[in-house]
Amino acid sequence: MGGTIAMAPSVSGGIVPAFGADDLVASVPGLADLDVKITTESLRALPSPSLGFGDLVALSERVRHEIDAGARGVVITHGTDTIEETAFFLDLTIPADAPVVVTGAMRHPRSAGPDGPANLYAAIRVAMSADARGLGTLVVMSDEVHGARFVRKSHTSSTGAFVSPAFGPLGILVEGDPRIRGVARTGLTLAAADKVTDVRVGLITVAMGDDGALLNRAGDLFDGLVIAGLGAGHVPAAMVPVVAAQAERVPVILSTRTGAGSVLRQTYGYPGSERDLLDRGLIQSGFLDPAKSRVLLALLLANDVDRHAITEAFDRYR
């Protein structure tokens, strides 16, 4: 799909897309020693901030086609900026047991010590592993195996940027051998409907002193909203009327900007607390972070799911 793993320095400065899937596979030592046939396709060549839901629909369809045609597993190379959203989208739209593994790189191929070849080798080994079957979409970086619904990018440049807060990785690679412990899937599968490209889901991050003016101006542009609240799922008291008004109009998901942990349900009771907001019709995101909450809500709306079913879907991630 593109990303740093497939970039090189340009004459004008900075790195830009430069390599296709064939180039990436050719750069990985040791693949010839594996008992596996690898076919390649370059679907996109984009920095991941430029990918959109239309690209993810095309990717999901392509992955399902490869699995239906007999692929043992599928590996996707991708930019790290939005790798977690893409992995979660695939996790929601591909029900097959065959491993779907997403990987990338923090250092480009022409840098000192590029991590792309090692990550791609590890991803292929995981895609070959019987222990990876039935676990949904996985993200493999730095010899760690992460579940799509847990993984987050936590650093701008470190090769150890990817973590799974609270739960940890599902496995690691030891001498190239995947050691994976299973985790139950939620069982939720949604169609990768083309309509998702037309659905607008806003993501509003709350800050100290926020009075909801931005949300009030932008809210009517959206079919649904995700609120990245403070702490355990809170907003300033001055913001409550605006948030409540939006919740009467469209589905509003209450998440947290903290980076780890679940939105609470019943601990705090002041105006703007999680109890107050849930009583006003907001839907809690559970352990899903704001970015993944946006992906799930967009797919639910694209599948014409009603508010009760939206609540039930998010309850799977408690």
Is the pLDDT score of 182 beyond 80? Answer: no
Residue 41 amino acid letter? E
* pLDDT band at 166; cut points 50, 70, 90: confident
- pLDDT tens-place string over residues 184-197: 788 899 999 999 99
Q: Averaged over 57-77, what is the pLDDT?
A: 98
Q: Write out the H or E segment, with its range, that includes residue 173.
A: strand 171-174
Is the pLDDT score of 69 beyond 80? Answer: yes
Residue 301 burial (CB count, 10 A): 21
For residue 39, indicate whether it is catalytic: no
Q: How far, in Å, CA of 136 to CA of 138, rounded?
A: 6
pLDDT for 244 equals: 97
Q: How far, in Å, CA of 222 to CA of 239, rounded?
A: 18
pLDDT for 304 equals: 97
Is the pLDDT score of 30 beyond 80? Answer: yes
Is the pLDDT score of 14 beyond 80? Answer: yes
Are residues 222 and 203 in contact, defined by beta-carbon separation less than 8 angstroms?
no
pLDDT for 26 equals: 95
Q: How far, in Å, CA of 253 to CA of 261, rounded?
A: 15
Are residues 199 and 300 in contact, defined by beta-carbon separation less than 8 angstroms?
no
| Proportion of the chain above pLDDT 70, given as a percent | 100
Is the pLDDT score of 219 beyond 90? Answer: no
Count Cα atoms within 13 angstroms, Cβ side, for 279: 13
Q: Facing residues of 177 across strands?
A: 174
pLDDT for 210 equals: 95
Of the candidates 304, 300, 296, 240, the residue with the CA atom closest to the CA atom of residue 273: 240
Is the pLDDT score of 52 beyond 90? Answer: yes
- pLDDT tens-place string over residues 262-278: 999 999 999 999 999 99
Structure token pair of residue 166:
């609270």
Q: Averaged over 165-181, what is the pLDDT?
A: 95
Q: Facing residues of 7 across strands?
A: 17
Distances (CA, A) of 238 to 165, 214, 217, 267: 31, 13, 15, 20
pTM, rounded to two decimals: 0.96
pLDDT for 184 equals: 74
Active-site residue (options: 4, 82, 93, 103):
4
Q: Facing residues of 16 across strands?
A: 8
Residue 106 burial (CB count, 10 A): 23
